[in-house]
A and B are shown apart, each in its own frame.
Chain A
Amino acid sequence: MTKACESATRPRPTENHRPDRRRFLGGAACAGALTLVPGVAFISLAGARSSEQPVSDEHRWGMLIDANKCAEGCDACVRGCVEEHGLWGHDRPETDAQWIRKVTVRDKQTGHVTSLPLMCQHCQYPPCVDVCPTGASFRRADGIVLVDKHTCIGCRYCMMACPYKARSFIHEALDQQKPYAPRGKGTVESCTLCVHRVDAGGERIPACAEACNAEGHRAMLFGDLNDPESELSQSLTQYASEELRADLGLRLGIRYRGL
């Protein structure tokens, strides 16, 4: 922007100094940009939200998952999530909580196997929120879909409504919860996009993405969808990506490459 302004306002050597239409418009554009600067500064300040400030829609947190980089047989993201939130269950896979799981699909015609992690897709229009009778299932201003377990009555309508089977119900009394991840019997829960890490600010990314990076796969890229400068937005612009069940029009926060 600055470069464009300079070239527009500075008279070219060959140009005479008569103020022509082009230069006038260029100047006007620069004035517009200057008046925008305080707003830009405000946004960058809001990037470092203090713990007192409520979240806003300036950010929309999301993720790009590259199925080509996701290794078949690797479950580092799942283990990372389990460790982070204390999701160790009772050795009963039918009822134990799972916030993220690995899905393996095979193309019948070519035999090509795709492996990908699947969790709450943090929809812009979440069906779980639509059906919740108590308002416990909600979408935060920054796009993170959560369950307020204080008001969850455990009816499990949201589990029925979710097209991604992303939610789990807690059937049994728990202990040894993490201080930052309260969980309890009779409520529904799902991926929080590691909201405690997001709220803490800084460079911390969700535990699954961190574990994937630590494993060297770097298949999960977390970032701000609303920030055009973020690595996530840049990648989304550069590469083709898709939503799971895009036909539902839910505008997901999680997008996939290489499906």
Chain B
Amino acid sequence: MRAIAAFQRRVLLAVILALLAGAVVAAEGGVPLPVIPKGKGEQCVEPTPVIRRDHMVFLLHQRDETMHQGVRSKRHSLKECIECHVAVDREGRTIPVNAPGQFCAECHSYAGVGIDCFQCHAATPDSGSRPPASAVHASSELHGGAPHAGFGGALMGPRLASAGEGSK
């Protein structure tokens, strides 16, 4: 009886050891910590632990002030974050901050948090170049079209009839 109890203890010990060892292996070989590319400046606008935890709060606050009150201070503006943290490839082109491995994406993919900012906001300071001509119609064709046809007459009252709307 005593021999059986001793055997059980040994088995239990072995199981615990195995579990511990497994945990250590997981910690060493698990998801690697994000490696964040360094920004241009010497120091961030806030201490690193603060900006790491609260950058979304700063951005949200700044966003409302800028949008509604026209406050364009640079301290917590998304544009300035991008300005400082955007990386440049070998050919000197800026890489979007939300591209894999870049400043925003590196941490956000580690934390499993999506970023919606760049659905609307430019992810590089110099973006906004016109797509190739084949993909774009001439701008003069922009402004004809069905939705607004005949609208001039409604605007000007019955005295004037619309001669059509368009750039011509």
- Which A positions have Cβ atoms within 8 angstroms of B? 49, 51-55, 73, 75, 78-79, 82-83, 86-89, 91, 93-94, 96, 98, 101-108, 113-114, 118, 138, 140-142, 146, 148-150, 163-165, 173-174, 176-185, 187, 195, 198-200, 244-245, 259
Contacts and interface: CB of A to CB of B under 8 A. Distances in A.
The DSSP consensus for interface residues of chain B is mixed
B123 to A, nearest CB: 9
B163 A113 contact: yes
B109 to A, nearest CB: 20
Contact of B67 (A148, A163, A174, A244): A148
Nearest to A118: B155
A78 B73 CA distance: 30
Contacts of B67: 146, 148, 150
Closest 10 CB pairs of A and B: A184-B120, A93-B145, A54-B69, A75-B167, A178-B128, A91-B137, A106-B163, A55-B70, A182-B120, A105-B152
Chain A residues touching B, majority SS = loop
Interface of B: 63-65, 67-74, 79, 82, 119-122, 124-131, 136-137, 139-148, 151-153, 155-156, 159-168
Contact of A106 (B143, B148, B161): B161
Given A52-B73, A150-B67, 4 more contacts: A49-B70, A75-B167, A91-B136, A177-B127
14 contacts: A49-B70, A52-B73, A55-B70, A75-B167, A87-B142, A103-B155, A106-B163, A107-B161, A113-B163, A118-B155, A141-B69, A164-B155, A165-B151, A179-B125
A176 B135 CA distance: 13
Contacts, number: 161
Contact of B122 (A78, A104, A179, A187): A179
B163 A105 contact: yes
A87 B136 CA distance: 10
B142 A98 contact: yes
A53 B144 CA distance: 41
A114 B109 CA distance: 56
Given A52-B73, A183-B120, A82 B159 contact: no
B142 A93 contact: yes
